[in-house]
Structure 1
Amino acid sequence: MKEESYIRNVKYFLEELIRGCGIIQKENPAVQFTKDAKAGLYDNYTDEVYNSMLKDIEDVAKFWHGKKYETVYNLFQNALAGVKVDSDDMWQIAKILTRSCENSMTARYKLEKPVPKNEEEPEWEDFEDEELIDAFEEEKQMTPKEIYRYVSSQILGQEEAVKAASMLLYNHLHGKKRNVLFAGPTGCGKTEIWRVLSQLYPNIQIVDGTMLTMEGWSGAFKLRDIFANMSREQAESAIIVIDEFDKLCEPKYGSGGNNYSAAMQNELLKMIEGNKVFFPEDKGKVAMEFDTSKISFVFCGSFETLITRKREINSSIGFGKSIDKSDISVEYKNKIKTEDLMTYAGVRREICGRINQVVQLRPMTAEDYKQILQHYSMSPVRKLEKEYHIRLKLNREMQDILAKEAEENQMGVRYLNSRIQELLDEQMFLDSEKEEYLLEA
């Protein structure tokens, strides 16, 4: 392995450990690379470029020792296995780490007073590392509070949604199937919560609802394809997150007057009910049969159509008149009932009856976006620094401008990512050799 690549990976593992993410499982990069290669993403690459990429991936994959997933603790240990450091260098390393963390050690590990027996357990930060490792190595030992604490470290705000997701995962790990619907405006973090949780529980499958089609219909992605790369054990213990669920449910009528959306929901209902499902062999796809009684389903969507239709009918605005985005944001604060899902969003009654909880996420504010920009790990600024190996700074005026723009266009953190990338590209075009860039208004 090239020295620069080795250093970069060891540095990344160390940064993750310092952030308290040692127990998080990371996927072997060779897994995704193989999937992309099979999907033909590299077909247009020359053999020289492809083989170079393959060599780099194989080098990095060595840290995983042939495993599909591995914790950061073990990756760091694998990286340092066999490394010999003389006592003087080890002393210097210890000094650097001690100076960096001495101010935070007391705050993180020291309790102000002993906790009497039978009283509430200390907060997550108060646990010793060994306790955390033990709790996460056996997934079923994770408490809802521990799951919540981890997700909250990567998702700002949306406390109720994070709590609901934490409880779903906790119940799921204990064999209790839950079906929950997450409704909220675009960019508020609905799907991101589940991406974060998949770091704790890799058997979470996030599916784009707009891509799903019924058996026998045109379209490449069927319900059976959700489980295509899973063993039966994995399939029967999965959490299936259907993103853009509201788009899947919106009525779609064919020339014969049939509502294709209702038919699609009917096929999905068979899985949600918790029965055995059988998919026959079809066009090279092997037959599949498994029990869905322990599969939890999460339905995510903006349900903006529900919001606008409900407001039009229940207000004096009337049909044909526009509703601006600020009005829609206000409406998200009103409780969405299962009756609303049936009346305004096209969700079938049978599916509504099997949804255990409707969770509503609030619109993100400019202040939320400012906190994200300033966050030590969540900020798009930090991600770009790691990607380009540079230092990147936003002055306060630029932070205010970007946060306000993100609030107004309601595109969420995606907007911050793309806008900051655009600003950085402009500066790098002028001088790509700089080690530090300042983005200012």
Structure 2
Amino acid sequence: MEDKIEYNTKDKDDKSGNYEKICYMCRRPESKTGAMISMPGGIDICPDCIQKTFNSMQSMDMSKLSGITNIDDIKNIDLSSLNIPNMNVNPIPERARVKKRDKKRTEPLFTMKDVPAPHKIKEMLDEYVIGQDVAKKVISVAVYNHYKRIFLDKDKEGTRIEKSNILMIGPTGSGKTYLVKTLAKLLNVPLAIADATSLTEAGYIGDDIESVISKLLLSAGNDVERAECGIVFIDEIDKIAKKKNTNTRDVSGESVQQELLKLLEGSKVEVPVGTNQKNVLAPMETVNTDNILFICGGAFPALDDIIKERLQKNTSVGFNSELKDKYDNETDLYSKVTNEDIRKFGMIPEFIGRLPVICTLSKLDKDAFKKILTEPKNAILKQYKRLLELDEVELVFDDDATDYIAEQAMKKDTGARALRSIIEEFMLDIMYEIPKDKNIGRVIITRDYLEHKGAPNIVFRNV
């Protein structure tokens, strides 16, 4: 399971020494500035800033500073005896404190024994995610190789293994985000989930590209070394496609793709700790993205039309010709996608080249909807059964009722997200009426009740 991040208070941090001191003026950590000088009021200032401050102080009692020839001599003075005016201290938030790097760490963060095999990862995903076997295999192998790549990267004499970033393509509600979120719960690896819709080019309103790495650093407890071995999932990646027929600067489309190139390829970037904004007084840390695995996912609406157009180019007239409507009812059309189709959608070639593994998710059918309702550990029907168990009432769904729910979900064409909206609608009256009568022991949901042709079957307790 993913580690729970706990942030210590300042007093605890000072005693345990887990976090670095941050310069009050320049916001650099102690690992970059050297030993800090502690000032009254809990302020820490680096030697560079204290030298500048020392040269410009005019209101001090200069008699107490006689004999000082360099900055090191100030450490021997009782700073509380100086007439320094009170300062408005702006304490650093706990979430923005930088963990000290353990210079004595000789063992790696993990060994090959800690690397779960792909089939083990898939077995864990199968307990929560229904279907999408191909996608689960691709994700399992990618994470497995990601661990091994970091472990073998320390071998300078061996062959260097390049990382394989993943592009997940699938219709809405097919389980892209849920698949990665479930992976985060099952694996002990820092994982950050970012939304591409909020990203803009540097200098414009919105989040910078480096905010993605800031979220990963936060999920790793501000431990840079651990964050450099993490995974980043960028959702809604299709929203940064190039805008067509525009006369203005595309600050949230092609420009974002171009700035993402350096992160996907691997580079050292400076990111603020504990915040997404660079213009605040927050400590900065350098993170190397070379060992970070990037997974990008998106629904790519209208991509199926581009695929159909390419497949229908070979249509002709004759006995062996292919009909133009051959692919209209194709449920797994995304599996036929190529890099050329993605480029026509609006992704630049340089961006596609840095995502060599393309993982497609198929559209859910009726059988998949029925399994989603009942089989996963946190299935929707199990959640409602658990809610009524608190009222000592058993909730039962017959087969015809689950068939009806699956049929209605397919009509909505919004994937698995439609299931909860459908169930919420007919469960409203039940959840409202059941607590009124303490003699109700069981409620059976039937198809007639869902079709508004009758009431649910209620079984009373034997009194």
Provide the TM-score with structure 1 as the length reference: 0.62
SS of 2:354's equivalent?
coil
Bigger radius of gyration among the two:
2
Matched, 1:266 2:258: yes
Residues 1:216 and 1:376: Cα distance change in structure 2 (over 3 Å): closer
How far does residue 276 in structure 1 lie from its aligned partner after superposition?
A: 1.2
Q: Which residue of 2 aligns with 1:183?
A: 169
Q: Which residue of 1 aligns with 2:398?
A: 395
Amino acid aligned to 2:132: Q
SS of 1:216's equivalent?
coil
The equivalent position to 1:423 in structure 2, one of 423, 426, 437, is 426
Residues 1:198 and 1:409: Cα distance change in structure 2 (over 3 Å): same
SS of 2:302's equivalent?
helix
Q: Assess if the C-alpha contact under 8 Å between 1:183 and 1:359 holds in 2.
A: yes
The equivalent position to 1:298 in structure 2, one of 262, 271, 295, is 295
Q: Assess if the C-alpha contact under 8 Å between 1:372 and 1:378 holds in 2.
A: no
SS of 1:222's equivalent?
coil
Matched, 1:440 2:440: no
Q: Which residue of 2 aligns with 1:155?
A: 129
SS of 1:298's equivalent?
strand
Separation of aligned partners in 1, 2:247 and 2:271: 28
Q: Assess if the C-alpha contact under 8 Å between 2:166 and 2:358 holds in 1.
A: yes
SS of 1:269's equivalent?
helix
Taking only the aligned residue pairs, the percentage that are identical comes to: 27
Residues 1:258 and 1:400: Cα distance change in structure 2 (over 3 Å): closer
User: Deviations for 1:327-346, whole angstroms, at most 9, x for unmatched residues?
Assistant: 37546255111121112x21
Matched, 1:167 2:141: yes
Q: Which residue of 2 aligns with 1:3?
A: none
| Paired residues, number | 304
Residues 1:191 and 1:435: Cα distance change in structure 2 (over 3 Å): farther
How far does residue 287 in structure 1 lie from its aligned partner after superposition?
A: 2.4
Structure 2: state its 5+ residue gaps.
8-109, 151-160, 273-277, 314-323, 448-463
Separation of aligned partners in 2, 1:25 and 1:259: 35
Q: Which residue of 2 aligns with 1:196?
A: 182
Residues 1:432 and 1:225: Cα distance change in structure 2 (over 3 Å): farther
SS of 2:414's equivalent?
coil
Q: Assess if the C-alpha contact under 8 Å between 1:242 and 1:297 holds in 2.
A: yes
SS of 1:381's equivalent?
helix
Q: Which residue of 2 aligns with 1:214?
A: 201
SS of 2:336's equivalent?
coil
How far does residue 274 in structure 1 lie from its aligned partner after superposition?
A: 0.7
SS of 2:291's equivalent?
coil
Amino acid aligned to 2:127: S
User: Deviations for 1:84-120, whole angstroms, at most 9, x for unmatched residues?
Assistant: xxxxxxxxxxxxxxxxxxxxxxxxxxxxxxxxxxxxx
Q: Assess if the C-alpha contact under 8 Å between 1:212 and 1:223 holds in 2.
A: yes
Separation of aligned partners in 2, 1:257 and 1:290: 29
Q: Which residue of 2 aligns with 1:240?
A: 232
Separation of aligned partners in 2, 1:410 and 1:297: 29
After TM superposition, the structure 1 = structure 2 runs for residues 305-316 of structure 1, keeping only pairs within 5 Å, are 305-312=302-309, 315=312
Residues 1:315 and 1:241: Cα distance change in structure 2 (over 3 Å): same
After TM superposition, the structure 1 = structure 2 runs for residues 262-341 of structure 1, keeping only pairs within 5 Å, are 262-279=254-271, 281-312=278-309, 315=312, 327=328, 330=331, 332-341=333-342
Separation of aligned partners in 1, 2:4 and 2:429: 33
Name the one with the larger helix percent: 1
Amino acid aligned to 2:283: V
Residues 1:286 and 1:327: Cα distance change in structure 2 (over 3 Å): farther
Amino acid aligned to 2:263: M
User: Deviations for 1:284-312, whole angstroms, at most 9, x for unmatched residues?
Assistant: 34323211100111111111222224435
Provide the TM-score with structure 2 as the length reference: 0.59
Amino acid aligned to 2:183: L
Q: Assess if the C-alpha contact under 8 Å between 1:252 and 1:259 holds in 2.
A: no
Residues 1:254 and 1:382: Cα distance change in structure 2 (over 3 Å): same
After TM superposition, the structure 1 = structure 2 runs for residues 12-411 of structure 1, keeping only pairs within 5 Å, are 24-25=1-2, 27=4, 140-174=114-148, 175=150, 177-199=163-185, 200-219=187-206, 221-228=207-214, 229=218, 230-251=222-243, 255-258=247-250, 260-279=252-271, 281-312=278-309, 315=312, 327=328, 330=331, 332-343=333-344, 345-375=345-375, 377-387=377-387, 389=390, 390-411=393-414
Q: Assess if the C-alpha contact under 8 Å between 1:203 and 1:237 holds in 2.
A: yes
By relative contact order (CA 8 Å, sep 6+), the higher-ranking structure is: 2
Amino acid aligned to 2:304: I
Residues 1:157 and 1:376: Cα distance change in structure 2 (over 3 Å): closer
Separation of aligned partners in 2, 1:440 and 1:331: 32
Separation of aligned partners in 2, 1:259 and 1:310: 28
Structure 1: state its 5+ residue gaps.
1-23, 32-135, 317-322
SS of 2:296's equivalent?
strand
